[in-house]
Structure 1
Amino acid sequence: MTTHAPTPISATKRSFTAALCLSAAMLMGGSALAAGSSDTDAERLERWRDIAKSIFGDRTIEPTDALIKVDAPPRALDASLVPITLMMPEKDRIAAVHLIIDDNPSPYAAHITFGPAADPSEVKLRVRINNYTNVHAVAETKDGKLYEAVKFVKASGGCSAPMGMSDEEALKGAGDMKMKFAEGGQGKPTEATLMVRHPNFSGMQMNQVTRDYTPARYINKLDVSSNGTLVFSMNGDISIASNPVINFALAPDAKGPIKVVATDNQQGRWEHSFNTPTPSN
């Protein structure tokens, strides 16, 4: 298997992201018109090329309608909680997936690497979308090739949407986790839903009491393992919605307790274990 490491979501980038988010919030000034709503297809394509080069360098990315698909609402009901489904029909070929929201202040939303205990056929998560934008999903195959799918979503202001509570209230119970399982049956994948309590402050949200911008604080890594074997590892950024919810599937032969380790960009760390259901016929 050939491995290719993408440009990491580094500490330097995170500092830049916080500054960029604050500038974007100030520039928005409550404008109802999404900044990207009038962009042409050519402008969007040029922006995507720049983003892809910054993440993947000179590697070739081929379009596909078979290896990965993106399902998202054409118009978001809530720009701060946009459901995204990544479907990978040829799951045995997939090593990782990259989620990029082109017009967000920090476009590289998530990088998910699958382990031996995963069934990578489908992943669901919720994101923030700040402008009318293309959402790109790039599948990385086990032989190191890249394939992209894209979906256009109309949304505005998701990164700056307030929490509706004080920062202190939003941080209460940070790191608490729950996991639900849907019984897959003998020899079938087990679907799981991981819920993590964390405000995932974007750096663009204004504290409704102090009128200052809340510093960015968000989960930057999730590691999920089954009996010591990796299910998936996800590096995230400010585009992941508050109180992250991740739907994924365990391989049919994955056995034993599920361990989840979450960290955030301010040295927060939390670890929880969950018992998996016993398969039935």
Structure 2
Amino acid sequence: MEIREEALPAPKAGEALVRGLASCVSQGTEMLLYKGEGPEPFDVSLGDTSVATYPRRYGYAWVGEVEEVGPGVAHPLGTRVFALAPHGDAHVLRASELKALPKAVPATRAVLAANLETAVTCAWDAEPNFGERCVVLGGGVVGTLVAWVLARSGTNVTLVERSATRRAAASALVPSARVITDAAPDGRADLVVEATGDPRVLDTAIAWAGFEARVVVASFYGARRAPVDLGNAFHRKRLTLRATQVSSLPPKLRPRWDMERRLDLVVDLLREERLDSLFGSPTDFDRAPQLYEELARQPDPSPAHTLLYR
């Protein structure tokens, strides 16, 4: 990874120059890119599919402050905004790409908006019922946020995560959850969410699931492949295996929900101060290459990592 400088144009009609405050490294997805394990094209939802998978700019959890606007932009100067924009200390963006943030939500927490949208969508796709037993495999930022949303939905959550640092963060955010290092799957869960990023864990997810339970895959595996045993327990227990993905809404919600309403919900959820427990120490942007090196080799990282621009 390297930091490159480029000139930015003046904002045109409907555009704003936004100066960066913070952005969040989406560790699971970005490490696929960093390690060369991503598919080609890498992310069709965030840009031109003709752009090479690597090298390229990436990131989608960026918070900044409006510094200059073109004609027709309603955001006042100084407005703090969230955008699905790559890491960088400034962007010229269309006003329609900016989500104004309340002053009560600090920029360093607001960077969770993209991951929280993923977690909310995962919970919608999982269709939790009050009182159900839910098992979340993986305590990264998405897995822990999914556990939090499911617990708020009235389910009994068990989160399985080997990292002591991540278990501590999950316990702080979701005190009602049972947070464990590992356990023999008991085959009693009504719902299992696989959020480790490792396709080999799908067999474990199937083992946790009870009869006619749902197994929801929140992980993005990229180019990673693993054999999955669908020949015995999966078949006999009549399990449902479901993918969840943030770039579209569940069909049953589409008559009433759109992306803007979902983001409004997420911004409201970001008022929860306990979300700050997910973050490790922030990193200045000029040290971003070193941060990625550390994340690639660190065995026990915090769930979320923030780049600071001022």
Same topology, TM > 0.5: no
Query: TM-score range with shorter-chain normalisation?
Result: under 0.3
Which has the larger share of strand? 1
Q: TM-score, normalised by structure 2?
A: 0.23
Q: TM-score, normalised by structure 1?
A: 0.25
Q: Which of 1 and 2 has greater Rg? A: 2
Which has the larger share of helix? 2
